[in-house]
Chain A
Amino acid sequence: MILTLFDLVLIIVLPLLGLAILATEDIFKAVVLFVSFGLLMALAWVRLNALDVALAEAAIGAGVTGALFLSALNRLERTVKHERRLDRDDERKASHE
């Protein structure tokens, strides 16, 4: 019963988290949400009885990919000076109005 509730919570939160990642305009916030998405995905793999995949997802999906994204974001803000953390769409939305 508890495990069913846990599964239900995972099923509800994972797509909502995915939507939140796609909907934010701040890229840094999206990266942080992506790391938490990786952690919840590792829990989902454990519930599916795939322990090796869960270990790999926690280490690579949440850890290494998060660090790679932040490093890429760091380099991005070096080439595009004043658009440090905002999405590109802001510029287009501003010019569209």
Chain B
Amino acid sequence: MNRKSSLKTERFSGFLTSILSAALVVFLGWALLREPPGENLTAEAIAPLLVESGVASPVTAILLNFRGYDTLLEVMVLFLAGLGIWSQATVDPTNPLVFPAPATHPTKAYEPGPGSELILATLVGILIPLMILVAGYLTWAGEFQAGGAFQGGALLGGAGILMIIAEPQRLSAIPPPLIRAGIVIGPAIFLMVGVFCFAYGGNFLEYPRPRSGFWLGLIEFGVAISIGITLTTLFVGGRPNPRGAKGKERP
């Protein structure tokens, strides 16, 4: 296929994509404006059930208690994404962000000044403990206000990404089994609590009634840690390979 016909097919497929996307937007708008909002998931309908669910926030009650199975599947999807990235590539843990050699590209890239490493190191030293603290607070605050496991885990992932960007050589100090344990702990705790509910006579993920807030907190704690470490792993982009990136032997 020569260049001219490939440009034509690209233009046609771009045109087709924009027409279909516009049709999707129109259809979604029509569907949204036509149906009244559902009756079962409003705040007034949830309020009498909140005491039973163990938390004070209706969003967390729905996410982790009433529709807990969906959240379990979401956590599994994130685990699969981490597994996919982990199996695709290896990364040299002593140098995870291998930058390319200075290119012969005409536009000059950003050249760091003499003191910029000091600024970055100081900022990172102040910010990362604070981010971990705020992530823990956000996870705990999900019980009664906006927050929860996903928000805290996302902030934890941001802290991990900041650490990898600022001091990439520290990745070699983390033993890989610890990273694996961190990725696995969220889905593992969720599944184990779900199975443990059988011992109390309930169904899968039917928490024991008097103190179901405790089980929700336990699940949120594990899921937040797991999300943070999985997001950082997604950013690093591969499993640690002590023999350097693209090493020939398997570790």
Contacts and interface: CB of A to CB of B under 8 A. Distances in A.
Contacts of A60: 154, 157, 231
B4 interface: yes
Contact of A59 (B10, B145, B151): B151
Nearest to B162: A67
B40 interface: no
B145 to A, nearest CB: 8
A11 to B, nearest CB: 13
Interface majority SS (helix, strand, loop, mixed), chain B: helix
Interface residues of B, number: 32
A55 B138 contact: yes
Contacts of A77: 100, 103
B100 A55 contact: no
Given A55-B147, A55-B151, A84-B105, A92 B99 contact: no
Given A52-B151, A68-B234, A81 B103 contact: yes
A64 B4 contact: no
B13 to A, nearest CB: 13
Contact of A84 (B6, B103, B155, B157): B103
A24 interface: no
B150 interface: yes
Interface of A: 51-52, 54-56, 59-60, 63-64, 67-68, 71, 74-75, 77-78, 81-82, 84-85, 92, 95-96
